[in-house]
Amino acid sequence: MGRSLKDKRILITGASGGLGERIAYYSAREGAEVILAARREERLDALKQRMSDELDAKCRTIVLDVSRTDEIEAVFQTIGPIDILVNNAGFGIFEPALEASLEDMKSMFEVNVFGLIACTKMALPHMIAQNSGHIINIASQAGKIATPKSSLYTATKHAVLGYSNSLRMELSETGVYVTTVNPGPIKTEFFKRADRKGEYVKSVGKWMLDPDQVAGKIVSIMMTNKREINLPGWMNGISKLYQLFPALIEKAGRNAFHKK
């Protein structure tokens, strides 16, 4: 564990389930005050109750749809200053580029990119003023290596990585850290929407990451100057090779990539 999280105020978007829920649990176990943000109020309330019963956690909820960027400023004014922002809200839909709808394109960018940027802008002034804070952006290995049937999702995650890398340099003279988390597939509800036919999960199910392991890793680096978390290691190795030899990897991995 890096610096103590006791009494640190942590806002987690997309906290009503999956990875966001597990990050909330692990953060609360470290003594943080957790602010759960998501669209589904009933699930937020249920999670808050469980965390209170099991962990005696300091926890509050706020309904937030990050795609509605015009509402984010008001939400952050209600929340007040935070020490750590985990931009976890996001979704994907796996379809060939020709079949992907413009509506899905718009929705994915609104949530995965514009919402993330808007939340970050609202959190940063206080962090910079106190010269301490941490922005944690949940990106994806998809932001590092492109695969078929995920052109829109991959584009959003490339955008998240580009934004995060630039922001990190802008904040390098401050005490505010920026970390990107680049996991491969995780066993969460994400794939109920992303993989409607179930083909991708069937192909890669045995390699999927445990959300508890991913969440534990994320919480372990909070308030430390960690540039990236890349999971699993073997997939990140392929991503690194892809940066060096893209044509070779695309050719060698053609069959595997098309299993989505």
Catalytically active residues are 153
The two three-digit tokens of residue 102, written as one number: 């413009």
Biggest CA pair distance of the chain: 53
